């Protein structure tokens, strides 16, 4: 089937980025969230990011205006039922995602494709809670969406070839590259990335190095653009912990045990950049290590 319209559930960090790239690629986009403030903030952020692209001559003023014209917003989840493709980008909690799909299903067109931007949760299990497991799959963008070139496409056990082909065509139209992953906990990127971040936190926890020395070592010693603790703050420590728990529970291997220090930071509400404190304190002019 040809995808013309895209519904996006969640207007947060991932949702607004997905709206940005889909609108720029010519899709009609409808975003929903439980908060009007979130929808307003998302549109403002998309406009700022488009302005940045205009200043770098990556897009024209006309392309920016046309993309913004294509983005609509609604507080009513059922309004997304008329879209050809729906991408759920809500918080990384399975109960939340399942509730969204159960509320949305009665309003969908028969041929609408359902997808989740989950970074770790079983696609097969999410699909089983809908009326169309054959038209359900994982559509995992990387953060920040307008910049990162990879999209993981994850088939559940029931996903049909037509659904995969339609989603693959969307990725190509966005100008991104698709990587096909089997439906195992955390898929490809986070299966490799999150244990590295968790090990960096253990390295801090055990006193092997300080926040700065760990991040500097990986940036200069492994040529990483960001240190692992800086990256954890950027992703969100709650998201990192959720993914480690999915790996630990799903694969039953102690090597995926979340570091107790990660758990402590999340319990404190120090979730990284979005709360202004994580492994760094972002409340001043420059980030300062918190340990």
Q: Which of 126, 160, 181 is the last residue of a domain?
A: 181
What count of other Cβ atoms lies within 10 Å of the Cβ of residue 91?
Answer: 14
Closest CA to 234 of 184, 185, 272, 283: 272
Half-sphere CA count of 189, side-chain side, radius 13 A: 19
CATH of the domain at 243: 1.10.1040.10
Same domain, 107 and 234: no
- As a whole number of angstroms, the distance between CA 233 and CA 126 comes to 27
- As a whole number of angstroms, the distance between CA 200 and CA 222 comes to 13
Asked if the structure places residue 186 within a domain, the reply is no
Same domain, 116 and 212: no
Same domain, 60 and 11: yes
Structure confidence at residue 197 (pLDDT):
98
Residue 47 near residue 68 (C-beta atoms within 8 A)? yes
Number of domains in the chain: 2
CATH of the domain at 117: 3.40.50.720
Same domain, 148 and 19: yes
Q: Which of 159, 181, 203 is the last residue of a domain?
A: 181
Q: Which of 129, 153, 181 is the last residue of a domain?
A: 181
Structure confidence at residue 1 (pLDDT):
76
Same domain, 203 and 113: no
Interval 11-67: pLDDT, tens: 998 999 999 999 999 999 999 999 999 999 999 999 999 999 999 999 999 999 999
What does the block give as tokens for 286?
């420059």
Q: Residue 218 belongs to what domain range? A: 191-289
Structure confidence at residue 262 (pLDDT):
98
Residues labelled catalytic: 119, 140, 152, 190
Which positions ≥6 away from 198 have C-beta within 8 Å?
A: 240, 244, 256, 258, 259, 262
What does the block give as tokens for 138?
């994982």
Asked if the structure places residue 138 within a domain, the reply is yes
Same domain, 38 and 146: yes
Residue 143 near residue 13 (C-beta atoms within 8 A)? yes
Same domain, 66 and 120: yes
**Residue 149, burial from CB neighbour count under 10 angstroms (0-12, 13-18, 19+):** exposed
Same domain, 114 and 207: no
Same domain, 163 and 209: no
Q: What is the pTM of this model?
A: 0.90
Which residues of the chain carry a pLDDT beneath 70?
Answer: none
């Amino acid at each position: 089937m040809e995808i013309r319209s895209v519904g996006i559930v969640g207007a947060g960090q991932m949702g607004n980025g997905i709206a940005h790239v889909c609108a720029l690629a010519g899709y009609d986009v409808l975003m929903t969230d439980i908060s009007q403030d979130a929808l307003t903030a998302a549109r403002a952020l998309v406009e700022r990011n488009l302005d940045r692209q205009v200043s770098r001559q990556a897009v024209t003023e006309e392309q920016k205006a046309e993309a913004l014209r294509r983005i609509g917003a609604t507080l009513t989840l059922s309004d997304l039922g008329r879209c050809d493709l729906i991408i759920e980008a809500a918080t990384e909690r399975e109960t939340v995602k399942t509730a969204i799909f159960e509320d949305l299903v009665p309003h969908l067109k028969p041929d609408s494709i359902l997808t989740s931007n989950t970074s770790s949760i079983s696609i097969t299990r999410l699909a089983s809670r809908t009326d169309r497991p054959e038209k359900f799959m994982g559509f995992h963008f990387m953060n920040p969406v307008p910049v990162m070139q990879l999209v993981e496409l994850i088939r559940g056990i029931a996903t049909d070839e037509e659904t995969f082909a339609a989603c693959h065509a969307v990725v190509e139209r966005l100008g991104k590259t698709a990587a096909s992953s089997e439906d195992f906990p955390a898929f490809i990127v986070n299966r490799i990335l999150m244990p590295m971040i968790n090990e960096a936190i253990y390295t801090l926890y055990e006193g092997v190095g300080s926040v700065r020395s760990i991040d500097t070592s990986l940036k200069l010693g492994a040529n990483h653009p960001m240190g692992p603790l800086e990256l954890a703050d950027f992703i969100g420590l709650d998201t990192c912990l959720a993914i480690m728990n999915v790996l630990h529970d799903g694969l039953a291997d102690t090597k995926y045990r979340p570091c107790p220090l990660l758990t402590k930071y999340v319990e404190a509400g120090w979730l990284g950049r979005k709360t202004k404190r994580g492994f760094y304190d972002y409340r001043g002019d420059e980030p300062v290590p918190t340990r």
